[in-house]
Amino acid sequence: MMDQIVTDEAILRTISKETTLSEIRSLKLVNRLKKANKTAWTKGAGLAAIQIGIPLRFAWFIANGKEETLLNPEIILAKGERIYKNEGCLSIPDSYVDTVRFNYIEYISGGKKMSAMNFKAILIQHEIDHMDGILNVDREYTNKALDKQEEIKKQINS
């Protein structure tokens, strides 16, 4: 039976647990995520394991034409220009929200320190959010929020 992409918010809000490479291999998780991605409502760039109902800190994605995985990832630095992006999620069909993400991140995956910029950085932040039970709708950016921040800045600087 093929894995389906989960849309149940209670499952998606589950915090994923650390895993091992041998567990990922025994579950054939890379192939399962790739197959589930093909059944999505739109072409996706990646999936976290929780999106097929498996609460492990693992994701598969494609960035810049290259397939990659995240194993027990952790962002250790996020900086640079903020990117405002209209972002979709395969677990929330036909929905896009404006989000704000960092343009540059440093992270650890599989015990190795790495960095990412631009689309890849956004994608990794999105997948790690899934592992932490956070959805892109939680990161929604609104003009109202920005206006409030600007108002506070003006008060501080005056």
Q: Could you list the active site residues? A: 127
Contact 59, 67 (CB under 8 A): no
Cα–Cα dist 76/138, whole Å = 21
Minimal CA–CA distance to 123: which of 90, 76, 148? Answer: 90
Longest dimension (CA), the chain: 63
φ and ψ at residue 139, rounded to 5 degrees: -100, 10
Dihedral, 25, 73, 133, 105 alpha carbons, nearest 10: -140
